[in-house]
Structures are given as structure tokens and as C-alpha cells.
Structure 1
Amino acid sequence: MRDPDAEAASRRRWTLVLVNLASVLEKADEVLLPAVYKEVGAALGASPTALGSLTLCRALVQAACYPLAAYASARHDRARVVAVGAFLWAAATFLVAVSGSFVQVHDLQPGLHPGGSFGVLLAPITFLGVAGWRVAFHAVAVISVALGVLMWLFAADPASPVAKPSKTAASATEEAKELLQHARRVLGVTTFQIIVAQGIAGSIPWSALNFSAMWLELAGFTNWETSVITGLYLFATALGALFGGLIGDPVARRFPNTGRIALAQISSASALPPPPSCCWRCPMTRPPAWRTPPIFAEIVPEKARTTVYALDKCFEAVFASFASPIVGVLAERVFGYKPVSSDTSVDTDRENAAALAKAVYTEIAVPMAICCLTYTFLYCTYPRDRERARKELLMASDDHLGGEASDDNESSVVHTRVDEESSVSSLNQRLIS
């Protein structure tokens, strides 16, 4: 017979691996279309503004899904929720691959970063008469289905509602009310409001960088070179996140009130782009290393963490989704971008690359500066909100311990009374006999 502890440990390892793979694949799905903007634009006759509107639609649908995911996670196995999400984005990705017009792609763009270089690499290739960018979408859809099946079969939610009868017994209305209460409570935290404000400003540049692969191709890089550069950029982004996480905890222990904030501010300041003349040559910034999830974990109760993450992602995604269309509008209306066709000259491509670089630079410099300055307000609010959350946790802990002690006292009183009644009954029996 297999050891239950060993089986549970194996299940946890599977869950960890699959959840991380799901996160990677979600990001791949998000960047797949921007990676082939140039090819899709030429094939479907779409301008940068129209291409940016595709990303806008995806981001809006994604933002609408965050509250739904939070509600579903409260009632169902979260691993199954992720699996269903994988199935849904696989279906949408497949439909984009078979679309024959811009309108169809616009309507079917999925709502839920390796896919970027993968899409660029396959973009100029044709398999059995099928364009390479369509093959890339088909491949991501198939992998998403496979991952969804693995998530459904092997992943397990460590806090599954199945193990909590009281949670599953609650009605949908009660849980919806509880979710709204958590949302109102989270929205009232000043630190959360500031983090959302900086997140909105800080996420706009990364949405603008959806045009980076298109810019590289217009600037004269081959698809292979573009895929390598895009892959290196995504790899550097991952390293930046890892580096920020590794130094974030020691800095927070050394400077509990200011450590994480200063680290985030330094990172956002380092992401400010060089002057426009340099940006024309490489319109990409360094990856961010700020870590807001640890701050969220310290300013709200544990049961409200899913809500705070969902709300933060929702607000950021909604506002950042408008960055891509704005880049297209700036490039076309302000900086003179000309529509791309299959017979466009090299000189036109270079002029379009310069116009696109200027638009991307504008979308990076201003929002990132605002993001860096907004972090300053956290020096006043974060220590106060963190201390308040700690006091609430201690009070809840004391109430819980007090309730258990009260139950123990009541139980001892009952046992004492039973013992006394038993002794009196025994004495009466002896007297009668």
C-alpha cells in the first residue's frame, strides 16, 4: 500500500510544475499575436491601430475574467479552474489560427513569453500551404489542450473546497456577498490604491512593447534574428523577476518599512528609456523586478488575498489594454507611419520603423516616470496598513484561542457535573442497599 504522505507530496510537486507551465503558456498565448503583427498586418490588411485593437480586446476580456476566476476559485477546485481556462484559451487560439479576415481575428482574440519568439520564428514559414503564423497558433492551441488535460487529472488544490464542507455548503449568494465584502475592504486600503495607480502607469509601457517584434522586422532584422532578440528579451525579463524576488526578502528584513518600496522604485527608474535617438535603434527597456505580491500579502488578511490579486490585475489590465491602440494612433497620425503591404519598399519600412519607435518611446517614458514617482506615497501608507493588518490578525487569533478555551472550560464543567451526579447516584444506591 502506498504511503499517503508520499502520494500527497508527489501530487504537490505535480501541481507546482503544472501551475508554472500554465503561467508560462498563458504568457505565450498573450504575446503570440504581437510577435507576428507584421505578418498578420500584411496578410489581413491591418494597420498598427487595428492590430493594437486586437490586443485591447484580449486584455479587456482577460480583465473581465479575473473577478470570475476569483469567484470560481472560492467555490471550486482551483486546479480545475486553471484547467478550464487552458481549454478556453486553446479554443480561442485555434479560432484565430483559422480566421480569414481581420474582423474574425478581432472577434476571436483569446482572453486569457516564450510564444513571442516561437511565433516570430514560424512567421515566414509555410507548412503544406499554411502560413507559419497560423501554424504557431495551432501549436499553442494543441499544447494548451494537453496542459489542461494534465491539470485536470494530476493537479490538486491544497485548499480544495472538497475538504471544507462548510465552504461547499454555503450558497452562491452568500459567497458572492463575502466576495463583495472582501472587495470593499481591499478597495479601502490606501496602500492598495497606490499600488494599483502605479501598476496602471507601469503596465502601459509593457503593453506598448507588443510592437517590438514588428519594429525589429521593419528595421531590417530577419525573422531568425528577431526571434533570438525577442527570446533574449523575455529571458532577461525572467531573470529580472528572479533577481528582484531573491533580493526582495533580505532587503525587506533589513528595512521592513522601506525595503521593498525602494527596490521597486529603483527598478522602475532603471526601466526609463534612453533619449529618443537611442530608442529608434532599440525601443526596449530593462525588465522590471518590483514585487507587489509580498506587499499585498502583508496588508490584507489571508482569506482576501485572492481578491486583492484579482482586483489589482483587473484594474491594471483594463487601463494597460489601451496602450497598444494608442501606439498605433501615434505612429500613424503623429509620426507618419504608412500602411504596410507585401510590396512595400525598404525605405518605407525604415521610415515606418522610426515612426513606430517614436510612438513606443512616448508610451514608455511618460508612464514609467509616473510609476516611479507614485511609489513615493507608499513610504507613508505601507507601514501603517501593514501594522493594522498585523493587529487584525492578532485579534482574530486571540478570538479563536479564546473560543477554544471557552469550549474547553464548558466541556470540563460538564464533565465535573457528570462526575458529581455519578458519585451522588452511587452513594444513594449504597444507602438504599
Structure 2
Amino acid sequence: MPTDAVPPVPPIPVRSVPPPTKAPPPGAPRRWRQLALLGGLLNVDNSESSVQSVLFPALRASLGLPLAALGQLVAASKLAHAVAGPLWVALARRWPRKNVLAVCCGFWGVWTAAMGLAQNFVQLLVLGTIASAGIAGGGPLVNGLVADLFDDADRGRAAGVLYGIAALGLGITGPLLGLLSDVENGWRYGFFASGTVQVVFGVLILAFLRDPGVGARDGARSGPAAVARLTRAQFRGLLRNRTLLLICVQRLTTGQFILISFGVTFLVDERGFTNATASLVTPAVTVTYLLGTFLGGFVADRVHRRHPRTGRIAAMQTAIVAYAVVAYAATQIDWGPMWVYMVVFGLVGGVQSVNPGINRPVVMSVVLPELRSAAFALMLSVEAAGWAISSLLVGYLGDAFGLQTAFLWLAVVLMLANGALVTLLYRPYVRDAAAVRSELARRAAATIGGAKQA
């Protein structure tokens, strides 16, 4: 595979005006603090699915549900993500992004709290679907904001920190949620607490988030009118972006998420641990996930600087294949004591965690600033659909053949095929990233030329 650098864009011969991409954007002070706030927001949004996954054995016993019910709950949640995500992005093109975030990822938490009042599976399914429809706006909008807070050289590290913070809460709350399994109707208290924290974060977003503006770190800052327009031609152009489409196919066919949804239940059903004991894997996974996101984003940025043509794609492919290997070790071998499972599941979390620091910057580098939130909405919607399909398959296969067999095919074999699929990304990524750099350079030149004439 070629690793030589893309030929640089010829510099603009202007002495008196510095390049816009080097100037700190006036709307993005304290960008790492802003990133921490956004990471905390994603953290509390993930808490709803954490309650559902960690406490499902207790919830199942309380409501008399089969294993397939967890697959149906996750599938409905992710399908709601797939449908609602683009709608929130469309709203954010007409109203301030932070206001939309505060509503969809903050105040919408009342629906998460309402899940604790469910008296049967249908009520739980309906309330969970409504709650997930709000949370769906977080991923695309937050990733768009990160792209506007950090330039291309730092986006891998920023994405790693973002998703590391987002995972931190699970490590803290996982064992606490496990303790609730020993309390009568403890799963209800988990949903009440999760929804309350979401609402609190909605207030924090309104009070402290500062939107830097679309394109602030690319020298192509757009005004509200420009951001509000997403023409059909632009959307068709987005669909013609081969890199983005291939990443969407890769996210649709990934099996990485099923261990997140079914891991604790697997340890209860297949390895005989109690719900409270099985939940102890969550802090172990969180520690390695944090290390993986921080180190993964940093290493991915270093690899990209040394090999800008192929570095990020090669890192993505390596991480996917490595995941299949450690997933096999975690699910196909009976290790015995819980501390060993904490180690092997920790390895799974560490390998999985490097992906946001790789694939998010890939999307950012092949899509123009004003289209990034729409691109992330498309990618995350497809990803949610894939998560829904794999969750349904795991639920039904688990009931029929056991979770160990289901994991073999969907977390190991499918992931090896997924890694092979990434090979198709090398050439289109080089072409699409170069096209975006060229367009941004043209815009920067036009901006400087207009300033000189004025």
C-alpha cells in the first residue's frame, strides 16, 4: 500500500494576512472544556442504554421476558436513532445547535425517567423508543461541533477524549446499577436516575456551551443563512461521496456493538454469574476503553501525520481485525473466575475504543464543514440500523442456540469480513480528502482576496 504524502496545496502568496486556519476561532474559547462538556452529554445519553443492558437480567425476571426481548428493545431504540437523527440535524440548521442539543439530549430525559414506570414489555418498548428518538440528535451534532472546535491534525485525539469521557460514566455507574439488581424494582430507580441526570445536563448545555460556528477551524466559517440551506444538490453530492458510503456500509455490517448490549446477560446465562457479579466487567471495560480512546486518538493522529494517504484507514482495519480476535477470546473460552473475564472483556473494550478516534476524523476530512452534521447523521443512522439488526439476530439466535454461538458468528466471523471490507476505502479516501482540501483552500483564497479589496 502506498504511504507517500498527498502533494500539498500550493500556498497562497499573501504576506500581510495570516491563514485563517491558524487563527484561534473567536467563538471557540476553552475548546477542551467545551469538549469535556460534550463528552459528559454523550455520557449521560448513553446511561439509558446502560441501565437497559446492565439490569436486563433483573428487568427480565421482573416482567417475565425472554432473551429475545433485549434484542427487540435495542433494535427499536436503534431504529428510532436511524429515523430521528437526521430530523434533529435538520432542526439544528434552522435553530442554534446548542438549543437543539439541550432539548434532544437533555430535557428529553423525562422520557428515560418514564421508562421506570413501565408495567409491561409494550410500555417499556414504547417509552424506550421515544427516549431514543431524542438521544439520536446527540451523535451527529456533537461530532459536528468537535470538527468545528479542532483542526484536522488534532481531531483524532479530540474524538478519543470525547468518547473516553462518554464511556467514563458507565464504569462508575455499572457496578452501582448491578447493586440495584438486588433491590426490588431496582431497575426502575436506574431509569429514574438516568433521566434526571439527562435533564441536568440539558441545563448545563444551555448555560455553558459556546458554539464556535460551522467551519470555524477550516477557515470557512459560515453564517446562519449558509448553514440553513441544505440543497438537494448538496445532499446528492453527499451520497456520491464514496468514502462516506463505504464507511456507512462498514458501520451497517459491524458486530462490535452486541457485546455492549448483551455482555452482562452473556455472563449471567452462559457462565453462571449473578447479575451483580457480572456487572463488575463494566468498570474494567471502562478503564481500558478510556485508555484506548485517549491513546488510540493520539496514535491515530501520529500515524496520519506520517502516512496521510493510508494511515487512518490502515489503523481502522487493524483495529477491526484485532477486535475479532479478542472477541473470540472473551466469548468462546470458559475462563472460570470473574477476574479473568474482567481482563478479557477489558481487552475487548480497549480495542473497540480506538474506532471513534479513527472513523470520525475520516468523515470530517472527506466532507465539507457545512455538511458534516448531515454526514454524521447519515453514518450514525446507518450504524444504528446495523446495531438494530445485529441485536435482533443475537436475541433470536441466543434463544435458539445460546449466546456463545450467536457471538461466534456476529462478533467474530462478521467482524473479520468487516475488516476485509475496509480494504475498499484506501483509494476513495485519498481522492475525497484531497477534493475537500482543495475546496477549502479555494474558499480561503476567496476570503483573503475579498478582505484585501475591502
TM-score, scaled to structure 2: 0.74
Match of 2:78 among 49, 59, 67: 59
Q: Residue 71 of structure 1 is aligned with which of 64, 80, 90?
A: 90
Report the CA distance shift for 1:102/1:374 in structure 2 as closer, same or farther (over 3 A): same
**1:387 and 1:157 mapped to 2: Cα distance?**
27
Task: For residue 143 of structure 1, report the CA deviation from its aligned partner.
Answer: 1.2
Check the 8 A contact 1:97/1:134 in 2, yes or no.
Answer: yes
Give the match for residue 262 of structure 2.
211
What is the distance in 2 between the residues matched to 1:187 and 1:265? Answer: 23
- Secondary structure at the aligned position of 1:323 is classed as helix
Stretch moving more, 101-110 or 301-310: 301-310
Does the CA-based 8 Å contact 2:310-2:426 persist in structure 1? yes
The residue type equivalent to 1:200 in the other structure is L
In structure 2, C-alpha distance between the alignment counterparts of 1:147 and 1:276, rounded to whole Å: 35
Instruction: Specify the alignment match of 2:62 in structure 1.
Output: 43
Matched AA of 1:332: D
Amino acid of the residue matched to residue 112 of structure 2? T
Q: Aligned in 2, Cα 1:91/1:155: closer, same or farther, shift over 3 Å?
A: same
Counterpart secondary structure, 1:178? coil
Q: Counterpart of 2:282?
A: 230
Shift of 1:106: 0.9
SS in 2 for 1:84: helix
CA contact (8 A) 1:79 1:155 kept: yes
Q: Which of these residues, 207, 210, 218, is aligned with residue 156 of structure 1?
A: 210
Q: Select 2:236's aligned residue among 178, 184, 201.
A: 184
Q: Which has more radius of gyration? A: 1
Moved more, 268-277 or 312-321: 268-277
Q: Rate the CA distance shift 1:25–1:179 in 2: closer, same or farther, 3 A.
A: farther
Measure how far apart 1:364 and its partner are.
0.5
Q: For residues 293 and 222 of structure 1, what CA distance do their matches in structure 2 show? A: 37
Equivalents in 2 of 1:308, 1:105: separation in Å? 31
Letter in 2 for 1:304: L
Helix, strand or coil at the partner of 1:321: helix
For residues 362 and 9 of structure 1, the distance between their equivalents in structure 2, rounded to whole angstroms, comes to: 45
Which residue of 157, 177, 180 maps to 1:123? 180
Match of 1:392 among 428, 431, 439: 439
Alpha-carbon shift at residue 107 of structure 1 (Å): 0.9
Determine if contact 2:332/2:408 at 8 Å carries over to the other structure: no
Partners of 1:21 and 1:391 lie apart in 2 by 35
In structure 2, the CA distance between the partners of 1:98 and 1:152, relative to structure 1 (3 Å rule), is same
Q: CA deviation at 1:29?
A: 2.0
Does residue 1:294 correspond to 2:392, yes or no? no
Post-superposition Cα deviations, 1:315-344, rounded to whole Å, max 9, x if no partner, equal 1111221211211111222x1xxxxxxxxx
CA displacement at 1:394 relative to structure 2:
2.5
> Does structure 1 residue 379 correspond to structure 2 residue 426?
yes
Q: Distance in 1 between matches of 2:424 and 2:29?
A: 44
Q: Structure 2 vs 1, CA of residues 258 and 16 (structure 1 numbering), >3 Å: closer, same or farther?
A: closer
- Whether contact under 8 Å (1:94, 1:138) holds in the other structure is yes
Partner of 1:343: none
Determine if contact 1:122/1:133 at 8 Å carries over to the other structure: no
User: Bigger shift: 385-394 or 267-276?
Assistant: 267-276
Q: State how far apart, in whole Å, the 2-side matches of 1:150 and 1:239 are.
A: 27
Aligned to 2:292: 240
Letter in 1 for 2:296: G
Aligned CA RMSD, in angstroms, stands at: 3.0
2:371 aligned to which of 275, 284, 304: 304
- Assess if the C-alpha contact under 8 Å between 1:119 and 1:136 holds in 2: no
State the Cα deviation string for residues 53-100 of structure 1 (Å, max 9, x = none).
Answer: 011111111222211221122222222222112345411211110111
Assess, with a 3 A threshold, how the Cα gap between structure 1 residues 316 and 158 changes in structure 2: closer, same or farther.
same
Confirm whether residue 366 of structure 1 aligns to residue 408 of structure 2. Answer: no
In the TM superposition, what are the counterparts of 1:265-344 in structure 2 within 5 Å? 265-272=317-324, 273-274=327-328, 278-281=332-335, 284=345, 285-286=348-349, 287-288=351-352, 289-290=354-355, 291-333=358-400, 335=401
Distance 1:13 1:402, change over 3 A: closer
Where do 5+ consecutive residues of structure 2 fail to align? Answer: 1-23, 136-166, 216-221, 336-340
Q: How has the CA–CA distance of structure 1 residues 404 and 120 changed in structure 2, closer, same or farther, with 3 Å as cutoff? A: closer
- 1:253 partner amino acid: R
Q: Which structure 1 segments of 5+ residues have no match? A: 336-354, 409-433
1:135 aligns to 2:159 (yes or no): no
